[in-house]
Structure 1
Amino acid sequence: MTDPQVALMMLGLFIIFVFLGFPIAFTLMAMGIGFGYYAYFDADRQWRAFNRLDETASNWESWSLWFEGFYNNRIFDLFINQTFTVMSNEVLTAVPLFLFMGYIVERSNIVDRLFNTLNIASKNIPGSMGVAALITCALFATATGIVGAVVTLMGLLALPAMLKARYNTSFASGIICAGGTLGILIPPSIMLIVYAAATNVSIVRLYAAALFPGLTLVGLYLLYIIGRSVLQPSSAPRPGPDEVPDVPKSKLLLMVLTSFLPLAFLILAVLGSILFGLATPTEAASIGALGGIALAFIYRAMSWQRMRESVYLTVRTTAMVCWLFVGSYTFSAVFSYLGGEHVISEFVQSLDLSPIMFLILAQLIIFLLGWPLEWSEIIIIFVPIFLPLLAIFDIDPLFFGILVALNLQTSFLTPPMAMSAYYLKGIAPPEVRLTQIFAGVMPFLFCVIVSMVLMYVFPQIVFYLPELFYGS
C-alpha cells in the first residue's frame, strides 16, 4: 500500500469513527499519532536504539533502551510542537474572552427586557412579535455567539408569548431557530476567529467582510416574516390592546435606553474598536468581557454562582476548541506528509471544474458535513483540506470563509440533524412537535441559499468594507 493510499485510509477511518460516536478531538489525536508513527518511522534510528541492547544490560537498562527505541519517532515531537503552537496562538486568545462575554450577557437578565421593548416598539409592523423576536435573537446571538444558549433562552421567553398571541407554531419556531444561529456569522463571531486561526486570514478583514452578508441575511429573514404576515395574516395575528399595551413615547424611549441601547452599545464598541484599528480582537474581547460584567452589575444580575458558571463554561468550551486544533493540526500534518492533500488536489483538478463549479461543490460538501458535525469540527478539520485548492481556482480565502459562514447556518437548521430544532424542542411546550419545528425552519433555509447566491453574483457585498477600510 502506497503512502497516499494510507492517507486516504486514514481519512476514511476517521469519518467512520466520527459516525460511531467517538470524541472528535481525541480521535484526531489518536489517528494522527498512530498513522504518524508509521509515516515518520525511521528504521535506521530504531535499529540503532535497539542495537544498544546486550545480554549484560540490567532489566531496567534494557527496558529504558527499549522505550527509547519505541519513542524515537518524530511524531511525538510534532505532537508536542503542535500543542505548543495552538496554546500560544494569539488569535485564539480572543476565544475565551468572547465566550466569557457571551455567558455573562446570557445571565444578565437583559434579553427579556429587550424582547418586551422591541415588541412594544414594533407593534404597528405586520408580524411585530416575530420581528421583535428575530431582532432580539440577532442582538443576543451577536453578543454571545452560542447557538444553544440563544435558542434555549429565546424559546423559553418568546415562543410561549408568540403561541399565546395565536402565531402559527411552525412560523414561531422557525423564527427562533433561524435567529439563534446568526451569531456564528455576524461579528464579533467566534466562528470567524476559529476560521482565521485555521487559515491565517486576517480576523479584522473577516469581521469587515462578514458585516454586510450578516445584515443581508437578517434583512431576508425580516422580509420573509413581514411578507408572510401580510400575505397570511392568520399565521401572525396583529396584537390586541390587551396583549401589547400602549406606552407613552417618553416611557418607550426610556425602555429603549435601558434595554436595547446598552447591549447594542457593547456590541458596537467591541466591533468598532476592531474594525477601526483602535484595538486588536483580543483587546476588544477583553473590553467586551468587562462590559458584560458591568451590564450584569447594572441589571443586578451578577452573583458569585453566575460568575462561577460563566467561568466554568468558558473554560470547558475553550478547552474543546483548543484540543480540536491540536488534533486537527497533527492529523493534517500527517495526512499531508503521506500525500493525501496531493491526491485530493489532483482528483479535483482532473474534474476540470470552473471556479464557480468548485465553489458549489465545496459548499455542497460542507452542507452535507453540517448534518453530523458541529461548525467547529468542520472549520478546524475539513476547511483546511479545501485551502490548497483555492489558489488553483483563484478564489480569495476571505470570500470562501464568508460563504462557509453562511453555509454553516444550515448545519443548525437542516433536518434531520438540525440542532437548533432539537434545542428548541427540549424546552418547548409538549404540544409543539419536532415536525412542526422542521417545517418552520425550511423557509429560512431558502433565505440562506438566496443570500449565498447574492454573494456569488455580487461579491462586493463581501469585499466592499475590507477594501474600504484596509485596501485591496
Structure 2
Amino acid sequence: MTDPQLAVFMMGLFIAVIFLGFPIAFTLLALSVFFGFYAMDVRIFSLLVQNTYDIMANDVLTAVPLFLFMGYVVERSNILDRLFHSIQLAARNVPASLAVASLITCALFATATGIVGAVVTLMGLLAFPAMLKAGYDTRLAAGVICAGGTLGILIPPSIMLIVFAAAAGVSVVKLYAAAMFPGFLLAGLYLVYVLGRGMLSPHLAPKLPRDETDVSFGVLLWALATSFLPLAVLIFAVLGAILFGLATPTEAAAVGALGSLVLAALYRALTWTRLKEAVFLTARTSAMVCFLFIGSWNFSSVFSYLGGERVVAEFVLGLELTPITFLLLTQFIIFLLGWPLEWTEIIIIFVPIFLPLLDHFGVDPIFFGVLVALNLQTSFLTPPMAMSAYYLKGIAPPQVQLTQIFAGCMPFLTMVFLSMAIVYVFPGIATWLPEVIYR
C-alpha cells in the first residue's frame, strides 16, 4: 500500500471509528501516532510535542475560555426571565408577539453566551411553556426556540468564528465583521417567517390576554432599562472594541468576562457556587476544544505527510469545478457532516481539508468562513441528529413529541438555506463591512 493510499485508509478508518462512538479527540491522537510512527518513526513524538506547544501558545485561542466564561456567568445571572418579560411587553402589539419575543430573546441571549445547549434549555424552560399555555402551535413554538438558540454560533462574538479563524489562519476581527450582516439577515428571516405565520394563521399564535400585557409606558421603559439595556451594552461594548480596533479579541473577551461578573453582581446572582460552576464548565469546554485542536493538528500533519491532501486536491481539481460549484460541493459536504458531528469537529477536522483549495478557485477564506458558519446552523436543526431538538425535548412537557420538534425546525431550516442563497448571490453582504472598516 502506497503512502497516499495509506492516508485515504487513515481517513476512512477515522470516520468508521467515530461512528462507533469513540471519543473524537483521542481517536485523532491515536490514529496520528499509529500511522505517524509507521511513516515517520520516532519523529512523530517530537511532532506531537511541537504541535501541542504551538496550539497552547496560540494567542487567538486564548479568547475561547474568556468568551465561554462570559457566557456561563451571564447564563447564571438571572437575567433571562427579566429579558424575556420586557421584550414580550415591548412586542405585545405585533402578530405572534410571544413567539417574536422568544426569538429576539433567544438571539440576544445566544449572542451573549454563544452556548447553544444552554440557551435552548433555558428558553425551553421559560418561553416554551408560556407559548404552549397561550395556545401556540407546538411545532411553531419548538421551532422558534431551537432556531433562535443556535444563532449564537453565527452572530459575533461567536466562539465558532474564533475556532475557524485559528484553523484557517485568518483574522478574527475581519471574520466578525463579515459575519455581522449575514447573522442579522438570518435572524431577520426568522422574524419575517414568524410574523408571517402569525398574520396568516392567527390561530397558531393567539394574542395574549390584555390583562397580561397592559402596562404603562413607564413600566415598559423601566423593564427594558433593567434587563435589555445592560446585556445589550455588554455585547456592543465587546463587539465595538473588536470591530473598531480598540482591543484585540482576547482583550475584549477579558473585558466581557469582567463585565459579566459585574452584571451578575448587579443582579445579585454572583454567588460562590455559581462562580465555581462557571469556572468548571469553562475549563471543561476549553479542554475539549484544545484536545480537538491537538488531535486534528497531528492527524492533519500525518495525513499531509502521507500525501492525503494531494490526493484530495487532485480529485477535486480533476472534477474541473467552477468556483460556484466548488462552493456548492463543499457546503453540501459540510451539511452532510452536520448530521453525525458537532460543529467543533467539522471546523477543526474537515474544513482544513478544503482550505488549501480556496486559492485555486479564487475564494476568499473570510467569505468561505461565513458560509460555513451559516451552514453549521443546519447541524443543530436537521434530523436525525438535530441537537437543538434533543436539548428541547429533554426539558419539554411529556406530551411534546420529538417528531413535532423536528417538524417545527423544518421551516427555519429553509430560512437557513435561503440566507445562504442570498449571500451566494450577493456576496457583498459578507464582504462589504470588513472592506469598509479595514481597507
TM-score normalised according to structure 2 size = 1.00
Cα displacement (A) at 1:240: 1.4
CA distance, structure 2, for counterparts of residue 384 and residue 245 of structure 1: 51
What amino acid is aligned across from residue 5 of structure 2 in structure 1? Q
- Counterpart of 1:291 in structure 2 is 259
Matched, 1:161 2:125: no
Matched, 1:417 2:374: no
Q: Write out aligned runs for 1:38-437 (5 A).
A: 38-41=38-41, 73-242=42-211, 244-437=212-405
Cα displacement (A) at 1:167: 0.3
Write out per-residue CA displacement over residues 215-261 of structure 1, whole angstroms, 9 at most, x where no aligned residue. 0000000000000110111110111113x231111111111100000
> Is the CA contact 2:338–2:378 (under 8 Å) kept in the aligned structure 1?
yes
Tell which structure's C-alpha radius of gyration is larger: 1
Q: What is the number of residues matched between the two proteins?
A: 439
Write out per-residue CA displacement over residues 307-344 of structure 1, whole angstroms, 9 at most, x where no aligned residue. 00000000000000001000000000000010000001
Write out per-residue CA displacement over residues 160-206 of structure 1, whole angstroms, 9 at most, x where no aligned residue. 00001100000000000000000000000000000000011100000
Provide the secondary structure at the position in 2 that maps to 1:408: helix
Cα displacement (A) at 1:461: 0.1
CA distance, structure 2, for counterparts of residue 170 and residue 106 of structure 1: 26
- Counterpart of 1:9 in structure 2 is 9
Root-mean-square deviation (CA, aligned residues, Å) is 0.5
TM-score normalised according to structure 1 size = 0.93
CA distance, structure 2, for counterparts of residue 283 and residue 346 of structure 1: 42
Write out per-residue CA displacement over residues 348-376 of structure 1, whole angstroms, 9 at most, x where no aligned residue. 11111111111111000000000110000
> Is the CA contact 2:92–2:213 (under 8 Å) kept in the aligned structure 1?
no
> Is the CA contact 2:67–2:159 (under 8 Å) kept in the aligned structure 1?
yes
CA distance, structure 2, for counterparts of residue 301 and residue 282 of structure 1: 25
- Counterpart of 1:32 in structure 2 is 32
What amino acid is aligned across from residue 380 of structure 2 in structure 1? F
What amino acid is aligned across from residue 81 of structure 2 in structure 1? D
Provide the secondary structure at the position in 2 that maps to 1:414: coil
Cα displacement (A) at 1:412: 0.3
What amino acid is aligned across from residue 264 of structure 1 in structure 2? A
Provide the secondary structure at the position in 2 that maps to 1:409: helix
CA distance, structure 2, for counterparts of residue 12 and residue 437 of structure 1: 33
CA distance, structure 1, for counterparts of residue 234 and residue 38 of structure 2: 51
What amino acid is aligned across from residue 137 of structure 1 in structure 2? C
Identity percentage of aligned residues: 69
> Is the CA contact 2:80–2:109 (under 8 Å) kept in the aligned structure 1?
yes
CA distance, structure 1, for counterparts of residue 61 and residue 75 of structure 2: 22
- Counterpart of 1:447 in structure 2 is 415
Cα displacement (A) at 1:387: 0.3
> Is the CA contact 2:355–2:365 (under 8 Å) kept in the aligned structure 1?
yes
Provide the secondary structure at the position in 2 that maps to 1:22: coil
- Counterpart of 1:51 in structure 2 is none
CA distance, structure 1, for counterparts of residue 260 and residue 136 of structure 2: 33
CA distance, structure 2, for counterparts of residue 455 and residue 241 of structure 1: 41
CA distance, structure 1, for counterparts of residue 258 and residue 18 of structure 2: 38
> Is the CA contact 2:116–2:152 (under 8 Å) kept in the aligned structure 1?
yes
Cα displacement (A) at 1:391: 1.0
What amino acid is aligned across from residue 183 of structure 2 in structure 1? G
What amino acid is aligned across from residue 84 of structure 1 in structure 2? Y
Cα displacement (A) at 1:392: 1.2
Write out per-residue CA displacement over residues 88-124 of structure 1, whole angstroms, 9 at most, x where no aligned residue. 1000000000000000000000010000001111010
CA distance, structure 2, for counterparts of residue 86 and residue 353 of structure 1: 34
CA distance, structure 2, for counterparts of residue 89 and residue 408 of structure 1: 24
Provide the secondary structure at the position in 2 that maps to 1:205: helix
Runs of at least 5 residues in structure 2 that lack an aligned partner in the other structure: none
Pick from 401, 425, 430 the counterpart of residue 457 of structure 1: 425
Provide the secondary structure at the position in 1 that maps to 2:382: coil
CA distance, structure 2, for counterparts of residue 282 and residue 442 of structure 1: 36
